[in-house]
Amino acid sequence: MDATFKIRRFDPEDKQDPHYEDFNVELPEYGSVLEGLLDIREQQDGTLSLRCSCKSAICGSCSMKINGESRLACKAMVSEIKELEGDLITIEPMGNMPVIKDLVVDMDSFWHKVESVEPYLQPKGPEPEKEYLVSNDQMMTLAVAMNCIMCGACVSDCTVLEVDSNFLGPAALAKAFRFAADPRDGAQEKRLEMYDQPDGVWDCTRCFMCVQACPKDVAPMERIMDIRSMAVEKGISKGRGMKHIQGFINGVKHSGRLDEFGLARKTYGFPLWPFMLAPMGIRRLLRKRLPPIFHKSIAGAKNVKKIFENLGV
């Protein structure tokens, strides 16, 4: 099987700007993108730089953008990509991190953020006499997040990090969940307060990029939502994110549908909401675009309310 790789090249010691170079490679039927890259480095251009180690989707070293999506090069099968996405395969370094050379990025900020969530158990009370047993169910919940191999694919594709490099990001927050949800940890409250801060869980825009990119099904965005739920549940989260959820629940619980006006009032609170909504209201009035002022319930709204009540919401 032959393939053409269009690779983004950059060498800081070279005067050239970043540019793309095409390479043709010959691969076995089930060849991976990584095998192709190593072949190029051995046979065609020894200066091509990339990171890799295990070639088995375990070490997490070879994350890069393949046709615009961050994936492990060793797990990306060339034949599948050619079939679904076309013959030319574009390969670029990960995003949201500075490029050092070719496909190698500087992951310092990635590691600092993981470190900042205190990714280690902090037990409370006297040391137990024997091993601490965690139930199967609890372990299964943790295992999802423990599957993370720190490859950086989620961070590379995160749409919030593109506009705000201070955001803790999906990898660090998935790791944060792994410790906040561990029954052996004694610092849960402190952790939730820490992750509830600006640049933490409430800055996620729920775009699913990290869910799609993760090669180990950690679904970091879902773990971020898990932390949000825990922080709301424990009464730690008192900000706009919590008010937004409460306002949303109120509207749907009592009318069966979203009450947009009521939601905005609840989220911003008094006396802020008139100031936040007035400019928008005037613009909308001029465009004959005011939403209905009196919120209408759906037929059967009572049944919806009962569902909320029966589930204790």
Partner 1 sequence: MRYAFWPGCVSKAGTPELYPAATAVAEKIGMELVELDQANCTGAGVLGERNEELVDTLNARNFAIAEQMGLDTILTICSTCQGVMSAVNYKLREKPEYLAKINQNLAAEGLEYKGTVRVTHMMWAIVEELSLEELGKMVVRPLTGLRIAPFYGCYILRPRYVLGMSEHPDRNQYLEKIIETLGAEPIDYEGKLKCCGFPIMTLNEENGLKMVSNHTLEAKDKGAHALVTPCPLCHLNLDEFQPKASSMSGKPINMPVLHLPQLIGAALGFNVKEMGLKRHIVSTDKFIEISGMS
Q: Which residues bind partner 1 (CB under 8 A)?
A: 68, 84, 159-160, 162-164, 167, 198, 202-209, 211-212, 219, 225, 228-229, 232, 239-241, 244-245, 248-249, 251-252, 256-258, 260, 264, 267-268, 280, 283-284, 287-289, 291-292, 298-301, 303-304, 306-308, 310-311, 313
Nearer to partner 1 (CB atom), residue 83 or residue 189: 83
Q: Dump the DSSP string for the chain.
A: -EEEEEEEE--TTSSSPSEEEEEEEE--TT-BHHHHHHHHHHHT-TT-------SSSSS---EEEETTEEEETTT-BHHHHHHHH-SEEEEE--SSS-EEETTEE--HHHHHHHHHT--S----SSPPSSPPP--HHHHHHHHHHHT-----HHHHH-HHHHH-TTS-HHHHHHHHHHHHT-TT-S-HHHHHHHHTSTTSGGG-----HHHHH-TT---HHHHHHHHHHHHHHTT---SHHHHHHHHHHHHHHHHSS--HHHHHHHHH-TTHHHHHHHHHHHHHHHTT-PPPSSPPPPTTHHHHHHHHHHTT-
Nearer to partner 1 (CB atom), residue 206 or residue 234: 206
State the minimum distance, in angstroms, from the CB of residue 27 to partner 1.
Answer: 22
Nearer to partner 1 (CB atom), residue 100 or residue 232: 232
State the minimum distance, in angstroms, from the CB of residue 236 to partner 1.
Answer: 14
Nearer to partner 1 (CB atom), residue 12 or residue 300: 300
State the minimum distance, in angstroms, from the CB of residue 153 to partner 1.
Answer: 14
State the minimum distance, in angstroms, from the CB of residue 71 to partner 1.
Answer: 13
Nearer to partner 1 (CB atom), residue 173 or residue 187: 173
The β-bridge partners of 69 are 66
Nearer to partner 1 (CB atom), residue 23 or residue 177: 177
State the minimum distance, in angstroms, from the CB of residue 91 to partner 1.
Answer: 16
State the minimum distance, in angstroms, from the CB of residue 274 to partner 1.
Answer: 15
